[in-house]
Structure 1
């Protein structure tokens, strides 16, 4: 796991391949924010699917690594992993659209004027046309601190519609945040 410190001001995007430690680092940043500022006004958006591959849980929610306080708003998407479980491009696209539609409702329900926003697996709801990256970034920009994480790995190199859309979303997020932290592979979380 990275010992890198995540800034608790501005916006930061944490990227890397599966099992690089993105979720764990985001959880550490959430804990640091809460230790310093308390949980009031914190919005946590959980978009990560939980996928088991070869006996290993890939992805997963922040609550695997920390306890989300009751004072924080916690929006959880029971997400599909479109590229992993979709048996065709059409099925993957349909799963991505379902994720995006349900994530849009979570964004609608998220508190106005958050003190801090933590987004786990930020590109999952952006794999379909339902939500634009700009909408998610606009929500995050309301807060003095926004920390997002996203997958960046070999699966994004394919030319299927879900991957193309996710690559575009990731590029937009990179342009709109203050800092990007790239994690190497081979750690857990």
Structure 2
């Protein structure tokens, strides 16, 4: 699959569909063509095993993060997999939102931004999709990926917030690639 080299790209799909791998390929392509000095990376992905399957995964599993790139990594939780109660899951989502928004606010000016697991900090009301989108404005290329599936739940507050954020990202993107 070939992704655009300019504009706003969103990649969605269920766990282990290849979202992070495709984002890593886009990052590699950009760095090969333009270098790493004007690249910013936000990596919000948790790495948690759930029912024998690794959920999430950071970009550095698939690519050596280039020297010269600005990198913001969230020590993220997988609230629906790790939370033992709804209240516990909500608190983990709040921690993700606060840490993720701090990273978004730290995002430097750059030509290209790559965001892995973009909806993780948006699963709680402390996370704001519009803040993320504003931070990505006026970039030559933005590549984001986001979870889209039912294996972690559909009707709980975290899933509803994530779905609303993903819908807004889809509306914002110039290109939406949905993996299955």
Matched, 1:129 2:125: yes
Number of aligned residue pairs: give it: 180
8 Å contact 1:49–1:59 — kept in the other structure?
yes
Q: Distance in 1 between matches of 2:87 and 2:20?
A: 29
**CA distance change for structure 1 residues 87 and 59 in 2, over 3 Å: closer, same or farther?**
same
Matched, 1:104 2:66: no
8 Å contact 2:81–2:152 — kept in the other structure?
no
Give deviations 1:98-150, integer Å, cap 9, x for gaps. 00101111112221x21100000000000011121111111112311000000
Alignment gaps of 5+ in structure 1: 185-189
Per the alignment, residue 27 of structure 1 pairs with 24
Matched, 1:170 2:166: yes
Alignment of 1:142-181 (within 5 A): 142-155=138-151, 158-181=154-177
Q: Distance in 2 between matches of 1:166 and 1:115?
A: 27
For normalisation by structure 1, the TM-score amounts to 0.91
8 Å contact 2:93–2:158 — kept in the other structure?
yes
**CA distance change for structure 1 residues 82 and 54 in 2, over 3 Å: closer, same or farther?**
closer
Alignment gaps of 5+ in structure 2: none
Calculate the aligned-residue CA RMSD, in Å.
1.2
Alignment of 1:1-189 (within 5 A): 4-111=1-108, 113-155=109-151, 158-184=154-180
